[in-house]
Homo-oligomer: A and B are copies of this chain.
Amino acid sequence: MEQPSQEQKPSYPPPQQTHMELRTAENSAIYVLPKLRSMKEANPHLTLLDVGAGSGTISVTLAKVIPDGHVTAIDVNEAILPRARAIAEMAGIKNIEFQHGDVYKLPFADASFDVTFCHQMLTHLKEPSDALREMIRVTKPGGIVAAREGDLETECVWPELSGLLKFHKFAASMMKAAGGSATGGRQLLSWALKAGVEREKITLTYAQALIDRVRAGRLREGGIKAGMVTESDLEEMATHWEEWAERKDASIAMMHGEVLIQR
């Protein structure tokens, strides 16, 4: 298979860049912080690679978490590097360097980093498993690879104005047309398995996971009575839940909204 390349990845226009610069380790990578802190206790001189760091706002906040460690932040888009360096300088962060690099051909030796990290990057790629395999290669045995990817198809908006629903479909189409995926979040586990990782070494997290079964009484009886489902539909559902439960790449999730109201 021909080696894919990130070279054609375009830079982002100013409005999107502004949105991305709101990202920090606290709001975008909180799932990795407990592990990072426990690794730091064992070894304060951790090395971390941030792949597809863009303007580096997450990289800089990760560097703050490991003040005696070192962060290497790369992006395939050379034009973003001066902006990233300026952001690190403004934040007074010294233990970081930014350089050019392609995730499919990382310019590092095997086992170079304790932590290899990416955020909202794999979902833009044609071959996310190849990228993950390369990220695993440069990670030290005993280290971790961390990835967080949006699942654009689950995006929801309220109120449901027609232009916004149209925008959602359009954005997903564009993402797919560019070779990426609009269902990255739910596929992340299957990508990691395809990259050759054993299931036992992967921790997958979502806001909430649930399994309901279709052979239970109420849903089945009510559905048939209301003409919403047939016996053969129900059999297909039950069979597929069983097949799903046996698969190593099985994942399921649903987003919740939460409100706190001050009386």
Query: Residue A42 at the B interface, CB < 8 A?
Result: no
In the complex the two chains form, is A228's CB within 8 Å of B177's CB? Answer: yes
A171 CB to nearest chain B CB (Å): 7
- Chain B residues whose C-beta falls within 8 Å of the C-beta of A229 in the assembled complex: 170
In the complex the two chains form, is A155's CB within 8 Å of B211's CB? Answer: no
In the complex the two chains form, is B152's CB within 8 Å of A254's CB? Answer: yes
In the complex the two chains form, is A164's CB within 8 Å of B240's CB? Answer: yes
Task: Scan residues 180-227 of chain A and give those whose CB is less than 8 A from a CB of chain B.
Answer: 183-190, 192, 197, 201-208, 210-219, 222-223, 226
Instruction: Give the residue among A28, A132, A222, A254 with the most B Cβ atoms within 10 A.
Output: A254
Query: Residue A139 at the B interface, CB < 8 A?
Result: yes
With A35-B260, A223-B170, A261-B197 in contact, do A156 and B158 touch (Cβ < 8 Å)? no
In the complex the two chains form, is B211's CB within 8 Å of A19's CB? Answer: yes
A92 CB to nearest chain B CB (Å): 27
**Residue from B170, B192, B218, B237 in contact with A166 in the complex, judged by beta carbons closer than 8 Å:** B237
The stretch of A56-64, A65-73, A140-148 in contact with B is A140-148
The residue in chain B whose Cβ has the minimal distance to the Cβ of A261 is B145
Interface class of chain A by DSSP: mixed
The residue in chain B whose Cβ has the minimal distance to the Cβ of A30 is B258
With A147-B258, A163-B236, A241-B164 in contact, do A140 and B174 touch (Cβ < 8 Å)? no
A214 CB to nearest chain B CB (Å): 6
In the complex the two chains form, is B146's CB within 8 Å of A256's CB? Answer: no
In the complex the two chains form, is B151's CB within 8 Å of A255's CB? Answer: yes
A157 CB to nearest chain B CB (Å): 4
- Chain B residues whose C-beta falls within 8 Å of the C-beta of A239 in the assembled complex: 163
In the complex the two chains form, is B253's CB within 8 Å of A203's CB? Answer: no
With A185-B156, A253-B257, A254-B152 in contact, do A228 and B173 touch (Cβ < 8 Å)? yes
In the complex the two chains form, is B250's CB within 8 Å of A213's CB? Answer: no
The stretch of A8-16, A44-52, A101-109 in contact with B is A8-16
In the complex the two chains form, is A261's CB within 8 Å of B146's CB? Answer: yes
**Residue from B153, B205, B238 in contact with A163 in the complex, judged by beta carbons closer than 8 Å:** B238
A108 CB to nearest chain B CB (Å): 14
For the A-B complex with A144-B261, A156-B252, A166-B237 known, give 4 more contacts whose Cβ atoms are closer than 8 Å.
Answer: A159-B249, A166-B236, A205-B257, A206-B255
- Show 23 residue pairs from A and B whose CB-CB distance is below 8 angstroms, ordered by the A residue: A12-B218, A13-B217, A15-B213, A15-B215, A16-B218, A143-B263, A146-B260, A150-B210, A157-B244, A158-B189, A158-B252, A159-B247, A159-B249, A162-B240, A163-B238, A164-B240, A170-B223, A171-B219, A186-B257, A189-B259, A192-B259, A197-B261, A204-B257
